[in-house]
Chain A
Amino acid sequence: MNRSAHRQRIERFSFAAHELPLFPVNRIDSPLPKRDALTLPPPFLRWFADKGWRPRAHQLELLSRAEAGESTLLIAPTGAGKTLAGFLPSLVDLTRRGRIPPGSVFVGIHTLYISPLKALAVDIERNLMKPVGEMGLPVRIENRTGDTPQGKRQRQKSNPPDILLTTPEQLALLLADGEAGRFFKDLRYLVLDELHSLVTSKRGHLLSLGLARLRRLAPRLQSIGLSATVAEPMELQRWLVAQPPDGDNHAGLITVSGGAKPEISILRSDKHVPWAGHSARYAIADVYEAIKAHGTTLLFVNTRSQAEMLFQELWTINDDHLPIALHHGSLDVAQRRKVEAAMAENRLRAVVATSTLDLGIDWGDVDLVVHVGAPKGASRLAQRIGRSNHRMDEPSRALLVPANRFEVMECQAALDANYIGAQDTPPIGRGALDVLAQHVLGRACASPFDAVELHEEITSALPYRDLAWETFERVVDLVATGGYALRTYERYARIRKTKEGLWRVSNPMVAQQYRLNVGTIVESPMLSVRLVKRNARGSLGRGGISLGKVEEYFLEMLSPGDTFLFSGKVLRFEGIRENECLVSQAFSFDPKVPSYAGGKFPLSTYLAMQVRKMLADPARRAPLPDQVRDWLALQQDVSMLPPEDQLLIETFPRGSRHYMVIYAFEGRLAHQTLGMLITRRLDRAGLKPLGFVATDYSLAVWALDDLGAAFRAGAPPLGDLLDEDMLGDDLEAWLNESFLLKRTFRNCAVIAGLIDQRHPGKEKTGRQITVSADLIYDVLRMHEPDHILLEATRNDAATGLLDIDRLGSMLKRIKGHVAHRRLDRISPLAIPVMLEIGRESVHGEAQDFLLTEAADELISEAMGLTEE
């Protein structure tokens, strides 16, 4: 039973604790809630008494609601004992039930715990085993991840533990198993950790479908969501429970407030803050001093290349030989585990990390969090700062290190946001169709299904509640035969309708294929990096340690002998052998190809708004450092600062070109899209645009003709140039030739099971017969532009890579509110984006340009070859 739709109880608790056990609990001297003695079985009471602790109010509240049959969302800051709260209902229920005597009939798992990270599942197991062991509870806890050995997985199916800790992908696999019904029939609780980060992506969509399935298999199932503070708790509350066909349903909410306010400061350096770039090199010495002044420091950066760079720079000046380590997603698992272990044992003074450490892994004592580069989102900043000091009553300490002048403002905005407590978690979004296709196939792998019933089940999941029957039918068709208008593949169908009207898989191979490809995280092909030595004869030795993985596209840019930064070392690229990238130590401090960029986050809408406000409001600029304020004051003299309710556009000549800079503050992705569309329009207007470059804050476009004069003369008027209608035909026309859609399509095609993940290394024959998603995309677009996967691709692009939604709302907002400043030279505010020119990559048309250049360069040399 779920919570009634008409009742929502919000209870707030705050508390203070002076000790931090693994599961923080109140000390005995705090007032005792009455029902606690009634609810907790004796082993729990004894354990608490022995420790001199007492359960916290929200832990007991969650327990009592769970026992009343409710699903609940618990929102609490780090260190509030969320994990124990989440498991308490299960542990109490299992203790009452007692151990299942050997020889009893099969009993399925009792509690399923899902976390976004494998490492978190492993960590929780360790933390949960301790109190369970001390209390002597009759509870078996195991984890199941991609690393779990085959034998153990089999045993888990035949003899399930009471509590299983796992990830969304593993849940999808378990649900696609023929024995899923038996395995999950006794499931009582589903605990979803870090729910705010689980729900937002395609992974969240897959998980929501899994949850809908679990509710069918285990009618008594209740869900418990654990989350950090979010802007819209109601979204998560609805996500947790089945949505009825008409109306809304939501889980209850318990909010724990409290915890000391973090002490956040922005690094003030005497050094010159750079105009552009992301390296923050200028601040290395200051950062090093901060590390020295604190016990343990976590340093967060936004991309892998930044992590590599910062790590190397720190070691360059590490005269005290402080133990400083590096941790990011591309490093080898063994290396990462080593760092994690050293960190847990407090053997390190600092760790440089990317988002791999964002979530709630227990890190022992962290005294300071340093964030290098702007945090790009206020929520992300809050999450990262939460890593410092897991004690709720002691303030977290954090230091923000902006890498350029715009980032100074961004940091200030994020800092304001954190004090205000505003959170900008991305919305859950409409359920993706490629994910649905994967789920439908998985469903068929488990057992034959009735389409009407499955549609009902799917629409009970929040992201899919508006899924039309017709769309669902098309997805089933996609799974069965590829969904093509030419019905040529009926005889090869993967799933077929039986005489009884149920859909079932055609043969066991289909299920096998599904199992190999489950998941929504599409990796671009990765090669492992192996450090080898040259032997005496100068040839490369075998063996050597594995340093991690890099994307294949990165290596394609390298020639043997090129040096690059990876795993904290400058490496020399030696070549590719099978699926490995061979490198040797470079003995150099100046890598030729510095960037190996991991993920990049665009600026969040919320922070963008804050930066805009700051520019418009002198009072909010007051806390900024002098050099930044001077810069802005100069801008005000020469041109103007972007007003809050207007879009500032500057035009000016420079060299032989004419520039236009648009200060839109909508993030790099939206700006890139805008750049593509505006250059098309300028081209049509005959102004000869040559190129554009986008940053998180602004967009610069350059042309041969005088743009400022043209706008002044109304040819074209700026209002027309920026009209919303550019999202119509221009967008369509551009999308049709854009490489971005191809990349998006590849992900959709892999997730939907149309093509397999590419396995690098199987190249001898494999590479030639592996199908290229680009080629399929071209063929499909030409012959069946309405195909459902192309629809899914366009949906993705609108919110993802192209950020069309965000661009659309900006264009609407600024309609009739454009301020044009025609200048005779570059303005101070334009400097950062102008410095980016030349760093941008080339795509599409420009690719052929490169080929021409390569060919032309060689014309004289190749003369005898091309013309005879």
Chain B
Amino acid sequence: MNQSFNTLYKENYTKVYRLCLTYVSGDETLADDLSQEVFVKIWQNLDQFRNESEISTWIYRITVNTCLMHLRKIKKSQEKITDQVPENFYEHREDAKDERLKMLRACIKKLNEMGKILISLVLEEVPQKEIAEAVGLSNENVRVQIHRNKGKLFKCMTSKEIQNA
């Protein structure tokens, strides 16, 4: 395993993991599995990286596409959780975690696939231009979609807070 890959891994793993974690609504095992898959893809394609764009944009693109590619696995895993895990499972498991983080994940789960991806990237503070480059939408389209999804997320969070109050 070469040095440049090691450095790339250490510098980017957390970002990739957080993106995957948001995309799979907090399923840590699945997020770790997807993150590893992302780095397998990075390893396989490293020689194809040309300095035409930022390495981070390139990694974001691979992360987003890997998550999209494994949508079937994600769906299956989430169905399994709903089928087999008792309703209060997460309450026990995430006792130590912020209740509001749980709410945020539940709200992100309600967005469509592109919405989930855009919000995950926005939360990771990826610049809009880089998001547009990674997902292949125009800057304007990205701006509109981010605005729309932020609105949905905000509405969902507010209603959940009112319910919990």
Whether A associates with B in a native complex is no
Interface residues, chain A, CB within 8 Å of chain B? none
Interface residues, chain B, CB within 8 Å of chain A? none
